[in-house]
Structure 1
């Protein structure tokens, strides 16, 4: 599959990150794009999200049935977290495959190919009490230790503008360069200050940056940057689509934690390599979003 610059209009090419933008991303670990997605594309994804929450599914792509977060009616609305959605709802898959997303990611990661690794649809209802809906500090790489690449990155696509009171994504500036975050799996830990103290005691400066963003913009963050979010203090829902992206060199590696071998839920779905390892380039499970090869 070749999805090169010919799929972008001249206007879209002009919106790609500049060398200064890439240098900023490499130094700080995050980047906010210009408005690169049309309202119509996002509105279609909103419709697909609403259908998904009502239980509607489509497509015949392979997908895992267990091993991941998958909110269902009756669960708490504080945070609806549904992974592995783009293979179950075509409107979200269509947005995920938009070439501008992969093109920006490829520039930031200085790679020729970008593939999906996994995706998550995240909904936050307005909070009714303090700490409700808080997402704890974590790194995406902590949850993908079976990956060999340090260039992986996430695209965070809100479906509306996100102001400071509407639970923006918050990154800790420059933390992708820290060396003690490999096991920061605190997504469900709501006491952010308690987690921060571990880094303060190590002499690291905590500089929180809320990602204030308009509809049609996308934020990107490095796989090792620490991030989370506070409660939704607005009176509106917060709805976003997060894509965890792999560069062309990424592949599977065996990983053990405290003597237990760790497996990603997609390892059971994708095809196998001749050596028996999961193939993280399986086009049905990890589709190519951008390739200049």
Structure 2
């Protein structure tokens, strides 16, 4: 297991969530950090993203299907590319910023945070006559039913300032406490109101919270928090990196849907445990971002 030697300065320690912040996250299902990522790290990630879109790779995945991987000609309303940190060093450098894992560990009250998967998301500006650009309501856990833990969480890192016109991430406040949402897979459903009506009919109060961030801030949300995003109505591209994070206790579990066993794409890439199950702690695929061996 990797042993960390990173030690935070007093200024960095001040960036970690307080007990009050953690209580807010546990009640509402989301949290916004202070500015924690240096501009130069984000600027490197932007350059790496641009090179990635031009076809440059530092490593390649062994399979070409089973995950989202935008290619030129697919349209620009929303570009989704998964597992980019595996393929581009500048994005991996961003993922491995110790502060991201440390904040996530505090929020999840866990001794270790590992990457599960990542998604680079690009949204082109749209006009009122355009269609698309919406990410529909979903929970991240819906797409990871092979995971045992419901303490997993996501970090959302924009590469520029985000206001309500620039396709902010939007969460439904407190929705991580709702039942019957663990299979909410409506990422590609553009009609947010249509999905909301189903929640309203169950008597739930719908409180949409657009996550407004400055460059260098990071938002975190619980794996069962319902979220999506609005179209990009600004005059420039919106680029962001979404990291889905495991807590220490997360392990693989078999999962069936309509009598068909479901396998996650990464199950075929990571090493196997003695019982044959995928090892979700394989550092080659699921690097440790923070552990109790790190020193605050």
The separation in 2 between residues aligned to 1:63 and 1:236, in whole angstroms, is 34
Aligned residues: 291
CA RMSD of superposed structures (Å): 1.1
Paired position in structure 2 for 1:232? 232
- Helix, strand or coil at the partner of 2:155: strand
Paired position in structure 1 for 2:263? 263
Paired position in structure 2 for 1:70? 69
The separation in 2 between residues aligned to 1:63 and 1:33, in whole angstroms, is 35
State the 1:63 CA deviation.
5.2
Paired position in structure 2 for 1:39? 39
Q: Which runs of 5+ in 1 are unaligned?
A: none
- 113 and 230 in structure 1: CA distance in 2 versus 1, 3 angstrom threshold: same
Where does 1:83-162 land on structure 2 (aligned, <5 Å)? 83-128=82-127, 129=129, 131-162=131-162
Where does 1:173-212 land on structure 2 (aligned, <5 Å)? 173-212=173-212
The answer to whether structure 1 residue 281 and structure 2 residue 281 are counterparts is: yes
Q: Deviations over 1:174-230 (max 9, x none)?
A: 000001101100000001111011110111110000000000000000000000011
Q: Which runs of 5+ in 2 are unaligned?
A: none
The separation in 1 between residues aligned to 2:279 and 2:94, in whole angstroms, is 24
CA contact (8 A) 1:133 1:230 kept: yes
The separation in 2 between residues aligned to 1:32 and 1:248, in whole angstroms, is 22
State the 1:3 CA deviation.
2.9
Paired position in structure 2 for 1:2? 3
Paired position in structure 2 for 1:15? 15
CA contact (8 A) 1:123 1:239 kept: yes
- Helix, strand or coil at the partner of 1:243: strand
The separation in 1 between residues aligned to 2:235 and 2:260, in whole angstroms, is 44
- Helix, strand or coil at the partner of 2:119: strand
The separation in 1 between residues aligned to 2:91 and 2:39, in whole angstroms, is 14
Moved more, 201-210 or 64-73: 64-73
The separation in 2 between residues aligned to 1:139 and 1:173, in whole angstroms, is 13
- Helix, strand or coil at the partner of 1:107: helix
- Helix, strand or coil at the partner of 2:170: strand
State the 1:270 CA deviation.
0.4
TM-score normalised to structure 2 length: 0.96
The separation in 1 between residues aligned to 2:252 and 2:35, in whole angstroms, is 34
Paired position in structure 2 for 1:250? 250
TM-score normalised to structure 1 length: 0.97
CA contact (8 A) 1:171 1:208 kept: yes
Paired position in structure 1 for 2:218? 218
Q: Deviations over 1:223-249 (max 9, x none)?
A: 000000111111111000000000011
- Helix, strand or coil at the partner of 1:33: strand
CA contact (8 A) 1:3 1:289 kept: no
State the 1:64 CA deviation.
4.2
The separation in 2 between residues aligned to 1:101 and 1:242, in whole angstroms, is 12
The separation in 1 between residues aligned to 2:139 and 2:63, in whole angstroms, is 23
